[in-house]
Structure 1
């Protein structure tokens, strides 16, 4: 593997701090490195490989579309894009859609849409938030170490304390275009919003007439034991950003909006060359269909409860939180646990010095959970 590390360093900008492993093959919940070693994947491409690796039905659908049509641009209509929007209307409850290629792009589009629809400029985001690394998405991302090297960013932006009704009430006003939040904060360590907090957010929306943007990039498509995390709260945002699990690892993102927001948008105000191309849309349609056929939303809820139970039994785990198969655990030395787990054939992710994140494929079952917990319990 060292040869591959050296080759990578010679040709790549060193933006990433990668784990010391080179993968060449995946099957189900498992990955294989260049030396043939097998690993249980509890990261799933950061909550993206919904169906696991190389799901046969997914591969068949995408392969079939590769033989038909890959890309023509949005100068023209294509059938998969229309079919995907119709399916998303059914499962999201949103009314109209725009397609792009990633979560950051979906957030960028959401911010632009909010400004155009309201005629206002100000955004309110939250402590612990992470919305992406492009300039607009970065502007509403909490950590200063991400933002500071690239300032000046989009302004005005104010940050309120996550889950603090009192601080939220101080930050929103008549100048607010939109409040953007993750219903479950992923990069912060998997922290769900409280129902009280969400209820107050929507009350304030009605009072000040701003828009609510839900960033469901990480929480969407069954990850939390519901199709989307908003269902845990019984609310409908004005704008919803989607990506990651949307194509089970194939790059695609999207934005859903209410009819009231859509009516205020005009042709030419936003676009994407590759967004919603036929291949990406078929990958997303196949993902959704397989989730439905194999009842993976239900499995996410059931297996997620089992994962939480098993983690709570472990020595060294101080707190377990999350929904469905989006679980965070508080530990003493998360990066060290990630390294030692890798040596034993388990992939987990550290979001901070004391937080592990578990976001396995939605096909994971008790066998995979038991294997993962056995490895974690063996770490010294």
Structure 2
């Protein structure tokens, strides 16, 4: 009997030990982990560069609340500001909290209520974040959503101009839709969004919860398109697996988050800031980001061997955030890969998502490609039933 809500379709293994890219289950079997806590352990599991300062901080102070000065918050905020388009930072505990805060900030600052987001987007599971998300399966059964959110087609040019409402507080988007299928936004689409925001005097919110903190080979994914967002949300990789999120915003929005207007008990606590500071010290180095981009380019090139199989439709992504789109649901393939010692996850029903640590070794990428090729070679497709295939 389990005392847990069954809110997760859990894998049939328990991870008992983890270091770097490798994890071991309760039976001692080793796996290449290309999930990494869903893009949170960007430096791999238990990185020494983060573990050491965390151990020291554990003996000093864990948490005192935001009623006191916190120089660790200042250090992390400075790093985020220096490597982004923002000027001010608010710390919280997760990506959903960061997106909730971003919605509150946009509405309060503009004194408008409408937020435009996009189909297949994912922004979290709290009420505003869920309302912002463009996937009905996330909202099913929870009753009326928070009003004011409108979902348009992602990457479709011209649709924004047909939206005549002037009560637009913000447009909120991911530069690569993660949960929606690892779908990159086109340069033309993002430039159209930026122009629309300027025309409507609306804020541009970029959700970098999964794409941020080096995942794409830049500090933030939006930097490939030369955007200058008003608000950026981050979490996941910010603390190397330690729970932490943040909102980064331009300085003219500062007046709208005045004392008492927003807050959090645990956000920005000493342990979270210690983990984030050590993480950013490494990831925001120019040489490190260049290495992530090079590894991502190499990995995608190696993965093109999968295109020889009838199961595979497309390979896409940026840096070390990669999706393999298949013509059928991929869950059986993911299970077979697990038996082969490679842990991956889905992004929607038909996409295998690959999120290795950013400091993954080249030979580990090659090993993953070999395992993928082995499993895809075994896949036999029944063309009379489009949604069925077996692995033998």
Smaller-chain TM-score range?
over 0.9
1:125 is matched with: 117
Query: Which of 97, 103, 108 is the matching residue for 2:89?
Result: 97
Identify the residue that residue 36 of structure 2 maps to in structure 1: 44
Distance of 2:184 and 2:300 partners within structure 1: 15
- The worse-fitting range, judged by mean Cα deviation, of 112-121 and 365-374 is 365-374
Aligned twin of 1:284: 276
Contact kept, 8 Å, 2:85 with 2:229, in 1: the verdict is: no
**In the aligned structure 1, how far is the partner of 2:161 from the partner of 2:16?**
50
* Residue matched to 1:340: 336
Structure 1, residues 302-348: CA drift from partner, whole Å, max 9, x if none?
Answer: 11111111111122332111100011111234111110010111001
**d(CA) in 1 for partners of 2:199, 2:348:** 37
**Which of 165, 184, 188 is matched with 2:176 structurally?**
184
Once the two structures are superposed, residues 73-99 of structure 1 have per-residue CA deviations (whole angstroms, 9 ceiling, x without a partner) of: 001111111111112111123100000
How much has 1:262 moved relative to structure 2? 1.5
| Matched ranges for 1:1-380 at <5 A | 10-171=2-163, 173-292=165-284, 295-314=287-306, 315=309, 316-331=311-326, 332-379=328-375, 380=378
TM-score, normalization: structure 1? 0.95
Q: Residue 141 of structure 2 aligns to a residue in which SS?
A: helix
SS in 2 for 1:104: helix
8 Å contact from structure 1 (residues 124, 171) kept in 2: no
Q: CA RMSD in A?
A: 1.3
1:165 counterpart SS class? coil
Contact in 2 for aligned 1:160/1:171 (Cα 8 Å): no
Q: Distance in 2 between matches of 1:211 and 1:327?
A: 29
Q: Distance in 2 between matches of 1:351 and 1:19?
A: 16
> Matched residue pairs, number?
372
For 1:249-306, what per-residue CA distance to the aligned partner results, in whole angstroms no more than 9, with x for missing partners? 0000000010111133321111000000111011000001122469432222111111
Asked whether the equivalents of residues 311 and 317 of structure 1 are also in contact (C-alpha less than 8 Å), the reply is no
TM-score, normalising length: structure 2: 0.92
Structure 1 residue runs of 5 or longer lacking an equivalent are 1-8
- The residue that corresponds to 2:388 in the other structure is none
Using the alignment, how far apart are the partners of 1:268 and 1:330 within structure 2? 46
Distance 2:157 2:253 in 1: 26
Displacement of 1:362 in angstroms is: 0.3
Deviation at 1:167, TM superposition (A): 1.3
